[in-house]
């Protein structure tokens, strides 16, 4: 077992199986909160034009619009990070297993830092015997 950085991992081998994070959940969260953000802003603009509104009405709408927009931005950044090549958790081949313990959302961190555990099957073969 040894710690290696992303550069030492190399390209995907022919018989290697890659386990990734799914991005569909982030896309669903983004869609819901972005729709709520658009509905909140649209209703605010329509209601402000049609009727006279007070200070509390403006503050409440802006508060909800801020949080809906903020959560949709977080979900969008998580979705985009999930589409990158650095989005993998484990890679397993016939001779070794690579386990990445850095989150896929931290793709902007330096790739020279150790972030992967490399395990050869011969090193952990004793586990099967017990």
Q: Answer for the pair 18, 91: CB distance below 8 angstroms, yes or no.
A: yes
Answer positive or negative: Cα dihedral of 32, 34, 36, 42.
negative
97, 58: one domain: no
User: 58 pairs with which residues across the strands?
Assistant: none
pLDDT tens, position by position, for the chain (130 residues)? 889 988 888 777 777 898 999 999 999 999 999 999 999 999 988 988 888 878 888 899 899 999 999 999 999 999 999 999 888 899 998 888 999 998 888 888 888 889 999 999 888 877 776 5
33, 72: one domain: yes
28, 18: one domain: no
72, 38: one domain: yes
Residue 84 Cα to chain centre, angstroms: 10
What is the pLDDT, as a whole number, of residue 130? 59
38, 61: one domain: yes
28, 77: one domain: yes
What is the pLDDT, as a whole number, of residue 12? 74
Domain that holds residue 114: 1-22+85-130
33, 74: one domain: yes
44, 74: one domain: yes
What is the pLDDT, as a whole number, of residue 8? 85
Q: Which of 82, 103, 122 is the last residue of a domain?
A: 82
């Amino acid at each position: 077992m040894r710690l290696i950085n992303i550069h030492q991992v190399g390209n995907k081998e022919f018989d290697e199986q890659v386990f990734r994070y799914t991005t569909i959940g982030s896309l669903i969260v983004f869609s819901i909160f972005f729709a709520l953000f658009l509905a909140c802003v649209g209703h605010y603009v329509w209601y402000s034009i049609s009727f006279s509104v007070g200070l509390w009405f403006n503050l409440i709408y802006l508060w909800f619009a801020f949080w809906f927009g903020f959560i949709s931005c977080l979900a969008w950044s998580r979705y985009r990070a999930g589409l990158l090549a650095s989005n993998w958790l484990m890679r397993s081949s016939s001779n070794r297993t690579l386990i990445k313990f850095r989150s896929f959302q931290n793709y902007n961190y330096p790739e020279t830092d150790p972030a992967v555990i490399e395990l050869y099957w011969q090193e952990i073969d004793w586990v099967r015997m017990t």
